[in-house]
Amino acid sequence: MKKLALVVGANGVIGTNLINYLLELGDWDILGLSRRGGSDSGKLRYIAVDLLDPESCRQQLSNLTDVNYIFYTAFQDRPTWAELVPPNLAMLVNVVDAVEPIAHDLRHISLMQGYKVYGAHLGPFKTPAKESDAGHMPPEFNVDQQEFLEKNQQGKNWTWSAIRPSVVGGTALGNPMNLVLAIAVYASISKELGLPLRFPGKPGAYKKLMEMTDAGLLAKATVWAATNEQCANQAFNITNGDLFRWEELWPKIAAYFKLEVAAPLHMSLQTVMQDKEPLWDKIQKKHELANAAYNDVSAWAFGDAVFSWDYDFFGDGTKARRLGFHEFIDTEQMFYQLFDELRVKKVIP
């Protein structure tokens, strides 16, 4: 059966890995939507579109009558939680309003969410978080997006799923939420300055339980949920399957970069790394790295956010396993593999 996927947010860390996985499967045609577009190849074609412009969406997506699956992974950052709602809800609405009425064989819309649904960003929350947990006081765009899909799906042939990863590990550049890249660049700069690798987060965060979600594993889970009838109209936590504490993992990360470890020191990466662009340019020249702009390898605000979680941060991933998704990955190995990948791509020395 022919399968045409529309991947919205095609250049992000999640969208990139999802496209790569669909290409790997071999029986999918793929359309990637993003503001920047991309290079077409084989079964992959890109469309550059401003998702915040409803008229532009209608015009540029007016011929997508054959789309079977919409994988929505787009995100736009804003300074406050309340400001996140209008653009992030509007982008989803604009895509669905443009494509859903004309796609004659639309089967599924997959929505990428996260633990904000559980209030994980607000402070200590119930762990392990379950898909059935109670909601929290708005504003929260993840919830608004899901409610939009639930309402629009009523009486339709297509179904939806909501995928809830923990902190996602991947290597895509230019992404504001890439913890692996933030750690890799922080370690590379520490090494250049002859400094030990200090954990920069809140003291309490060093000892709390954490988890992550590998972007490759997330891609597999997303497609699994979209193509299995038993997953219709449900949400799923998707995690690597293990837990860790930074106090145990951090020295191992330091060892990977051949760095000593010193006691944690709480500092804002956004502040202390603000003046490091000239140093990064020097590192790139010295090690003949790819010419990635400092802004494209900087995810300091996200690093600060994750390292500030001085409370347990993990969900219950058993629902997906009960329905048949059994993939897992060792988080420590995930870090090493992604650091290796960044070195092969000559992003870090």
182-208 residue pLDDT tens: 999 999 999 999 999 999 999 999 999
Q: Is the pTM of this model over 0.85?
A: yes
Helix (H, G, I), strand (E, B) or coil at 308: coil
Q: Which CATH superfamily is domain 4-166+214-238 in?
A: NAD(P)-binding Rossmann-like Domain (3.40.50.720)
What average pLDDT does the segment 106-118 reach? 98
**DSSP-based three-state secondary structure for 149:** helix
Instruction: Residue 111: name the closest of 279, 235, 272, 239 by CA.
Output: 235
Q: What percentage of the chain reaches a pLDDT higher than 70?
A: 100
Q: Using an 8 Å Cβ cutoff, are 28 and 5 in contact?
A: yes
- Region 9-29 average pLDDT: 96
User: What whole-number distance in Å separates Cα of residue 8 and Cα of residue 71?
Assistant: 6
What percent of the chain clears pLDDT 90, i.e. is strictly above it?
Answer: 96
CA dist 139 and 72 (Å) reads: 20
Half-sphere exposure of 248 (CA within 13 A, CB side): 10
Determine the pLDDT at residue 2.
Answer: 84
Q: Other CB atoms closer than 10 Å to residue 304's CB: what's the count? A: 19
First-to-last alpha carbon distance for the chain, in angstroms, is 45
At 216-262, the pLDDT tens digits run 999 999 999 999 999 999 999 999 999 999 999 999 999 999 999 99
Quote the longest CA-to-CA distance of the chain.
Answer: 63
Whether 182 contacts 303, CB under 8 Å: yes
pLDDT tens across 78-92, in order? 989 999 999 999 999
pLDDT digits (tens, 9 = 90+) for 270-307: 999 999 999 999 999 999 999 999 999 999 999 999 99
Give DSSP secondary structure letters for 213-246.
EEHHHHHHHHHHHHH-GGGTTEEEEE--S--EEH
At 125, is the pLDDT very low, low, confident or very high (cuts 50, 70, 90)? Answer: very high
Q: At what angle do helices 246-256 and 331-344 cross, to 10 degrees?
A: 30
**The two structure tokens encoding residue 119:** 């209030």
Q: Say whether the peptide bond before residue 128 is cis (omega within 30 degrees of 0).
A: yes
Which of 201 and 172 is assigned the larger pLDDT?
Answer: 201
**Does residue 175 register a pLDDT over 90?**
no
- Confidence bin at 96 (pLDDT 50/70/90): very high
Cα dihedral sign for 248, 244, 181, 205?
A: negative
In the chain, residues under CATH classification 3.40.50.720 are 4-166+214-238, 168-211+243-344
pLDDT of 176 reads 82
Q: Does domain 168-211+243-344 have CATH number 3.40.50.300?
A: no
Neighbouring residues of 57: CB distance < 8 A, sequence distance ≥ 6: 49, 50, 51, 94, 95, 97, 98
